[in-house]
Structure formats: C-alpha cells, structure tokens
C-alpha cells in the first residue's frame, strides 16, 4: 500500500469509527495542514525588553499552538529558512512515526513534509530534535499541540469558561554553549511563554500583562514543561486544582490536587475554579523556589470586569 493509500484508509477508519459510535456526537476527522518556518531571531526574553538570539518556530517562543481533534490527520510542513545557520527538525510528541524518518533534521534552505494521525487526546509538546537538543530546545524551539478528545466535553471533562496555554522553558545567559546548557551551567531563569515573569506585575515592575477570569469561572490551563532538565511543581497559590488531567487526557483525572509534577517534555491540563462570590487572585507557580523566583510565576486575576477576550476564541497564548 502506498503512503497516500495508508493515509486515506486511516482517514476512512477514523470517520467510520466516529460515525458508528452512536452514543457520542458525530465528529468527522479532518486533514489539518500545519506549516512552520524556523527562524533564528533576536527577541525579548523579559518584560524589560532584553533580547537574545533565539531559535524559533514562526518567530515566537513558544511556537504556534496547533489544535486538532483526536483522529485528525496532521499534514505538516517544516521550512528551515535559508538565512538560518543551523539544521533543525520537528518532533511532535502527538505523533507515532519513525524518529529517523519524519523527525530527521534538515539544512537551512530545505523543506520537509510528513503526516501523522493524532491518535490520543491530550496536550503534547513539540520540539526540535536536532543536535544538540539541549541547545535547540533551550533556545526556544518548542510549543504545544492540543488534541481535543473525539467525544468532546462530558460530565468529567466539562467545557471551561476560559483556556490558557502556558509553556515553561529555560533561559540561559546569552552565548552559553550547548555543552554548558546540557549541564545546566549559566542557567538564568524560567521563561513563561517566552519571557521571565511574563504575567506577573507583582514581582516584575515591567510586567504589563496578567491572566484574567471572572469569579467562579472554570479556567483551564494547558501547562507544558519545555525545560531541558528540570521538572515543574505546578501549584495555584490560594487555590486547589479542581481537576488535573495528566497528559491532558480526559481519562487521566485527579481531583483536588495541590501540586502536580510535570517532568521535562510533558504537559498537563488543569482546571481552577475561583470563589464565585468575591474577587480573588491566584499565582500559578512552579513551587520549586529556584524557578519560581527566577521567572515562573503567573498571576490570574479573578474580577467581574475581566477582559472578555482573554482565554477565549483561540486567544490562548497572551502576548
């Protein structure tokens, strides 16, 4: 069978499976085209505007959020811009493929295409796998692919009022070698969606952004650990995770959790519900002090006048 035939039959199987499950909504699998261009660029890494040479997908850290439904076929194109100096690749954790084929690196000026079925629901990291991975990842080559469950929302996976994507990565001193990065030498801080203390006006006077919701709303965070060595001890100060979905899979539920471990190259989905009868605030932290006090704190303001656009209609990464 040719590759195209295999994909067509995969596609048919997914649609057939969806159509025959009468107790659940009928959701058709789709082919989703995703294109990314690798760009090696100088961009701000803190709220003050300090820039560093980062390696990126589409010019931002993290790269674009990819969102598909379980069973969809992702038709991916990677372009390594000819002005770049390094080879790069793409490793989607949501894909079941061949590391030496689909995930192999390409030189500046080259293009690579591959396809995969998003078989399992959840929040999955994607990252560059070119050598040295320690350098490529810690320079910003990562992001998240969300695979929404085929069944949609349910009693145990309720529809959230708002959704935010947070990706925590490393920041090293400018010019740190690949070898030193690997050993954690000259580590400078934790990046939250590309900047230290990105959404924390309490600890950083230059911060202008915070996350927002209304009192009582269910806020869902897709929290991704893109650090190369360290776990994330994710805790909502002045709150309790109402639910934690490990790997973002609605079947992996823990209730009423205080702190949840996210190993490197893993992601979780967590729900927070603030009191409905008063304004309140939470600080979403990596409770390991080394990282919390060096960038990994995010403020969530629960107020009646919350910005209606934040965390809604695809506005998941606040910039």
Chain residues in the site for Cu ion (CB under 5 A):
88, 91, 128, 130, 136, 141, 265
Q: What is the rounded CA–CA span in Å between residue 83 and residue 87?
A: 11
Q: Which is nearer to Cu ion, 136 or 150 (CB)?
A: 136
Q: Which is nearer to Cu ion, 91 or 170 (CB)?
A: 91
- The distance of closest approach from Cβ of residue 88 to Cu ion in the complex, given in angstroms and rounded to an integer, is 3
Placement of tokens 């639910």 in the chain: 243
Q: Which is nearer to Cu ion, 11 or 57 (CB)?
A: 57
- The distance of closest approach from Cβ of residue 55 to Cu ion in the complex, given in angstroms and rounded to an integer, is 5
CA nearest neighbour of 49 among 156, 207, 182: 207
CA atoms within 13 A on the CB side of 284: 30
Residue 314 burial (10 A CB sphere; 0-12, 13-18, 19+) = exposed
**CB within 8 Å of 176: residues ≥ 6 apart:** 185, 186
- The distance of closest approach from Cβ of residue 208 to Cu ion in the complex, given in angstroms and rounded to an integer, is 30
- The distance of closest approach from Cβ of residue 265 to Cu ion in the complex, given in angstroms and rounded to an integer, is 5
Residue 80 burial (10 A CB sphere; 0-12, 13-18, 19+) = buried
Is the bond leading into 132 cis (omega within 30 degrees of zero)? Answer: yes
Q: Which is nearer to Cu ion, 7 or 97 (CB)?
A: 97
- The distance of closest approach from Cβ of residue 141 to Cu ion in the complex, given in angstroms and rounded to an integer, is 4
- The distance of closest approach from Cβ of residue 310 to Cu ion in the complex, given in angstroms and rounded to an integer, is 30
Q: Which is nearer to Cu ion, 27 or 123 (CB)?
A: 123
CA atoms within 13 A on the CB side of 13: 11
Q: Which is nearer to Cu ion, 136 or 291 (CB)?
A: 136
Residue nearest to Cu ion (CB): 128
């Amino acid at each position: 069978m040719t590759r195209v035939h295999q994909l067509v039959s995969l596609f048919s199987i997914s649609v057939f499976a969806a159509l025959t499950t009468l107790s659940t909504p009928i959701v058709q699998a789709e082919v989703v085209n995703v294109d990314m261009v690798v760009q090696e660029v100088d961009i701000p890494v803190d709220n003050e505007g300090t820039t560093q040479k980062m390696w990126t997908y589409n010019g931002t850290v993290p790269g674009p959020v990819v969102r598909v439904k379980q069973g969809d076929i992702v038709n991916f194109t990677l372009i390594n811009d000819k002005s770049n100096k390094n080879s790069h690749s793409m490793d989607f954790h949501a894909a079941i493929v061949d590391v030496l084929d689909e995930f192999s690196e390409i030189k500046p000026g080259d293009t690579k295409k591959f396809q995969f079925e998003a078989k399992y629901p959840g929040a999955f990291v994607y990252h560059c796998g070119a050598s040295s991975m320690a350098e490529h990842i810690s320079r910003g080559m990562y992001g998240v692919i969300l695979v929404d469950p085929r069944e949609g929302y349910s009693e145990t996976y309720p529809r959230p009022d708002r959704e935010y994507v947070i990706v925590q990565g490393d920041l090293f001193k400018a010019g740190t070698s690949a070898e030193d990065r690997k050993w954690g030498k000259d580590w400078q801080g934790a990046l939250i969606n590309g900047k230290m203390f990105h959404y924390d006006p309490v600890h950083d006077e230059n911060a202008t952004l915070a996350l927002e919701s209304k009192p009582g709303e269910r806020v869902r965070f897709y929290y991704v650990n893109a650090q190369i060595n360290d776990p994330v001890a994710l805790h909502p100060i002045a709150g309790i995770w109402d639910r934690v979905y490990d790997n973002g899979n609605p079947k992996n539920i823990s209730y009423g959790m205080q702190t949840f471990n996210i190993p490197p190259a893993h992601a979780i989905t967590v729900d927070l519900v603030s009191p409905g009868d008063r304004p309140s605030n939470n600080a979403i932290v990596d409770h390991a002090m080394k990282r919390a006090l060096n960038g990994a704190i995010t403020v969530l303001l629960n107020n009646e006048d919350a910005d209606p656009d934040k965390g809604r209609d695809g506005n998941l990464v606040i910039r």
